[in-house]
Amino acid sequence: MQLGNISIPADGRAWQPVKTWQLITWLVIYAALMWTYREMGTRILDAAYLVVHEAGHPLFSYLGVEILTVLGGTIMQLLVPILLALSFAWRGHTLGTAFCGWATFNSLTGVAIYMMDARAKGLALVSPGMVSDDEGIGHDWEYIFNWMGHGMIQHDQQLGHFTMWIAWIGMFASVGWLVWMWRRYPAE
């Protein structure tokens, strides 16, 4: 695959074949992780996404634009797994590419939940050095939707549900791509 002048995987590299035992192991892992998204489930990867999200706010604050500081959390939360997926793809690492692609969309489920909470503000929010009861913690998506204007905040549920729909399609597509790669490049 070519992205401009960049070859994926890189010139001289090929996609690593996926062994059947690897595929089965990863399918079990994906199923177990997706099972945690049932009501009252413990979403074990959300802690990692939260750390990356919160790191994005101060990083983007250096640009000096308030909306980018607020958006920086979500941007970083999605950018990190995307860049990791591209790095694995460039090296031809099939399993790493599939997982980081899946993780991008898995992280997007958290973004969707945050979007749906923009008006209700029922989520416990965190910020470096603060807890949700402290004054000064703002709700990112309340701010973003209000900044967008045109009554966008009134559509937080619809936009959040649409984002969740995209996230689930992306997770299943990532797993489907892994199965396709297993069939296309069988291990010897």
- pLDDT 10s digits, 106-136: 999 999 999 999 999 888 887 665 444 445 5
Give the C-alpha separation, 108 to 52, whole Å. 13
Q: What is the pLDDT of residue 115?
A: 96
Q: At what angle do helices 156-184 and 140-148 cross, to 10 degrees?
A: 110
Burial class (CB in 10 A: 0-12, 13-18, 19+), 165: exposed
Residue with tokens 């939260």: 50
Token digits of residue 75? 């941007």
Query: Mean pLDDT for the chain?
Result: 90
Q: What percent of the chain is predicted at pLDDT more than 70?
A: 89
In this prediction, residue 185 has a pLDDT band, given cuts at 50, 70 and 90, of confident
Closest C-alpha to 71, from 158, 25, 9, 63: 63
- pLDDT 10s digits, 88-107: 999 999 999 999 999 999 99
Beta bridge partners of 127: 130
